[in-house]
Amino acid sequence: MSGEGFQRSAARAAAAMRNSLDVESRPQDTRVVVAMSGGVDSSVTAALLKAEGYDVVGVTLQLYDHGAATHRPGACCAGQDIHDARMVAAKIGIPHYVLDYESRFKQEVIDRFAESYVCGETPVPCVDCNQAIKFRDLLVTARELGAKVLATGHYVASRIGPDGRRALYRAREDDRDQSYFLFATTREQLEFLRFPLGDRTKAETRELARRFDLPVAEKADSQDICFVPSGRYTDVIERLMPGAAEPGDIVDLRGRVLGRHNGIIRFTVGQRRGLGIAAGEPLYVVRLDAGQRRVVVGPREALRTTRMQLREVNWIGDRSLDEALAADRLEVFVKVRSTRRPQPALVGRAGGDVAVELLVGEEGVAPGQACVFYDAPAGQARVLGGGVIKSVTSAVDPVEAHHPQRQAAAAVRG
């Protein structure tokens, strides 16, 4: 047998020895730490793995304690949820530990969230939580507990790619896909992480919870910003950073003052209601100028973004990012909001930054949001990475935006 043939045979033999988590050992010899938030998804994940015979250990992170938030429907990782996770662990017969991560969570997620808003950005705290807390600190804890795998209840899939390394993919159910929040996951983390629900629907998960008779089977889903007890994020920002809501001017695209505001943290790009100014046409928040404390407004067409520059870029596609961009700009599909479908784009270099050109354009893109790369526009597309939006460029010239006749003429010329 040739050397190449032997390697193929060895690879097939190794694959045959792998369990359902792609680990080369029997389930009963494979310790799995499950991140249990107290919700139905992570609870079903733990129950499924226990039913398959794995050595399952449940770990719940105490991330904050905001009093009322501990019993608020849709909260997570607070008092009631810890209680629920403990009940599920007892029900399925696994050990359960609660780890106090409050100080880390405040430093890495809540403080960064507040600072980002004060800078005029629209942050995505779930990205920071997954990357800095769940997939970094908890992953280390899982290894210390002797685990070979850290499993979560995220709706995202991972599979071994052609190069033998694990790759990240969108979930089977498009409406439940959480890959947007996991773009910062590194190659090394992917090798240790597993997502058993990625190829299931939410309805299937609920049905499994009922079959396992879990006490959280009918529990409501958690919300994105779990640490905001009242639903008003400005309350959190003002408590952490007194004086953050400084007043300033509301101006149009040419800088004309139209009115006053009581803090840019109360505004987001794309907002139309609650501007407090009278105008002859509908106006939207187009940009937040934190340095000048200005809220810049304009017509809807001024919201359309065609180019953006990224920071904190993570690449998990084939080859390295430099190799992928060596010849020319890379054709990908991107999401700039978790609820929107991927759209075609070109990724390249602009100075020292990674730049993205949206071929169709997108409304309401703001610095601080995530821009996530995919290899296809639909289905279980592969996640290639992404970054945090650093700056955006509007598709509309500020002067043209105030002269519709010029816009029409420009369109005819184009």
Q: Residue 311, Cβ neighbours under 10 Å: how many?
A: 12
Report d(CA 283, CA 275) in Å as an integer.
Answer: 9
Question: For the stretch 387-405, what's the b/e string if a residue is b when 16 or more beta carbons lie within 10 angstroms of its beta carbon?
Answer: bbbbebebbbeeebbbeee
Tokens at 307, concatenated: 């180019």
The backbone torsions φ and ψ at residue 11, rounded to the nearest 5 degrees and listed phi first, read -65, -40
Q: Which amino acid type is present at position 158?
A: S
Q: Which residues are catalytic?
A: 129, 226
Which DSSP string corresponds to 339-403? TSPPEEEEEEEETTEEEEEEEEEEES--TTSEEEEESSSSSSPEEEEEEEEEEEEESS-TTGGG-
Report d(CA 176, CA 156) in Å as an integer.
Answer: 9
Q: Are 337 and 372 in contact (CB under 8 A)?
A: no
Which DSSP string corresponds to 208-275? HHHHTT-TTTTPPPPPSSTT-TTS-HHHHHHHHSTT-S--EEEE-TT--EEEEES-GGG--TT--TT-
CA-closest candidate to residue 315, choices 168, 172, 192, 181: 168
